[in-house]
Amino acid sequence: MIQSPIPKALSTFLKCKVQSLLMGGQACILYGAAEFSRDIDLAVMVSHHNLENLKSALVALEAERIYVPDLSEDALLKGHACHFRCQKGDAGGLRIDILGVMRGVDSFPKLWERREEICLPGIGTVAVMGLADLVKAKKTQRDRDWPMIRRLLETDIYRTSGKPSREKVSFWLAECRTPEILISLASEYKNLASIISVSRPLLISAIEGNQAEVQRLLRDEEDREKELDRQYWKPLRLELEAWRHGKD
């Protein structure tokens, strides 16, 4: 049986006191929306002290940079991701992607306030990006991220027992991507759906029970977010190309 390298990496980050939030595929697994992933995505607090701790963890894991840029406060604060591959024995082969700033997502201190803390056997208590923030972080130009958003919401809805809070229902109405469920929610919580429709107009069609229109508007919503993400990354990609070619 092949041992997962993820426990070793997470334990090392905890030991080195890295202030970080687990996100990406591993966070999706913990929220019950299964996604196979052998990588770790981390949002980190960008500060000199925390990056020193992070560098200590990477050294302990014998992690080597695999793409530009180098790990630095400047690169992370601009929105770049820093990528590493671990070489250390039981963590060997594990890829670690590190981010400090993300499009459409709050600053790290606010994300930290909304974190979930999950106790993982043999590892310890791991800080995980809050579900609502994880959903926002998943709104990328990558096609594979959108089905995951859908599963995250469906899982949260199905797992919630008893009467959900107003905050919880508002989150579902604002982010759910399953037409049938969205229409059901809009019917059950019509007043709240009407209020949220100001910022998410497709809820009007959900209130009316027009499934075909809701489906169309969800596609439009996804296309807009993908384009926003492409525009966000366009100057960053140009900067990466310059770094790759050794330009200023």
Q: What is the pLDDT along the chain (248 residues), one digit of tens a residue?
A: 346 899 999 999 999 999 999 999 999 999 998 766 779 999 999 999 999 999 999 999 999 999 999 999 999 999 999 999 999 888 999 999 999 999 999 999 999 999 999 999 989 999 999 999 999 999 999 999 999 999 999 999 999 999 999 999 999 999 999 999 999 999 999 999 999 999 999 999 999 999 999 999 999 999 999 999 999 999 999 999 999 888 54
**Co-location of 121 and 221 in the same domain:** no
∠ at Cα 127 (123, 130), nearest 5°?
Answer: 140
Segments forming the whole domain that contains residue 186: 145-232
Ramachandran angles phi, psi of 59, nearest 5°: -65, -45
Shared domain for 84 and 127, answered yes or no, is yes
Asked whether residue 69 is assigned to any structural domain, the reply reads yes
Angle of helix 179-188 relative to helix 211-244, nearest 10 degrees, comes to: 120
CATH code, domain with 35 = 3.30.460.40
How does 165-196 read in b/e, with b if 16+ C-beta sit within 10 Å?
eeeebbbbbebbbbbebbbebbeebeebbeeb
Q: What is the token pair recorded at 67? A: 């793409």
Q: Among 134, 160, 176, which residue terminates a domain?
A: 134
CA distance 100 to 48: 13
Residue 89 confidence (pLDDT) = 84
Could you tell me if residue 20 is inside a domain?
yes
- Same-domain pairing of 159 and 212: yes
129 shares its domain with 35: yes
Best CA proximity match to 71, nearest among 62, 81, 63: 81
Residues 81 and 116 in one domain: yes
Residue pLDDT, tens place only, 122-164: 899 999 999 999 999 999 999 999 999 999 999 999 999 999 9
Quick one: tokens of 200? 């998410």
Is 21 found in the same domain as 79?
A: yes
Does residue 247 form part of some domain? no
Using CA atoms, how far residue 42 sits from 62, 127, 168, 172, 196, in Å, is: 17, 10, 25, 25, 31
Same domain assignment for residues 99 and 27:
yes
Residue 174, domain member (yes or no): yes
Same domain, 20 and 101: yes
Count of structural domains within the chain:
2
Does 241 fall in a domain? no
Query: 79 and 165 share a domain?
Result: no
Within-domain flag for 1: no
Q: At what angle do helices 145-159 and 166-175 cross, to 10 degrees?
A: 150
Domain co-membership, 130 together with 168: no
One domain for residues 30 and 99: yes
> Does 74 share its domain with 193?
no
Peptide bond into 164 cis (omega under 30): no
Residue 168 lies in a domain: yes
Q: Judge whether 14 lies within some domain.
A: yes
